Amino acid sequence: MDIPKLFETDLANAMAAKPDIAQRVGAKFQFNITGEGGGQWFVDASSSGPKVEPGNPGGADCTISMSAQDFESLWQNPSSGMNLFFSGRLSISGDPMLAMKFQDLARML
């Protein structure tokens, strides 16, 4: 899985094509993906977006941190999120309920 492409191209294009759907999520997310193929991405799915940008400009409502390997597992099987969270391999700060809303954006792909 090419995680940078997923954020910077696939998700960015999907959100740009359907901005009204993206904005309904109503949140700003920070993703911190560690390890090979990882990086940091800011996903704005609020009324000021939609946009995806590399880095961490601050201002996220929900920050999601995990390894690249765990991100791939989560992407392929969204129901694994609770397992990853309770095993300490997925960290969420800010509003944890918003992490569930990110699935609405993932479904756009």
User: Domain boundaries in the chain?
Assistant: 3-100
- pLDDT tens track, the chain, 109 positions: 999 999 999 999 999 999 999 999 999 999 999 999 999 999 999 999 999 999 999 999 999 999 999 999 999 988 888 899 999 999 999 998 998 898 888 888 8
Q: DSSP letter string over 43-93?
A: EEESTT--EEEES--S--SEEEEEEHHHHHHHHH-GGGHHHHHHTTSEEEE
Architecture of domain 3-100: 2-Layer Sandwich (3.30)
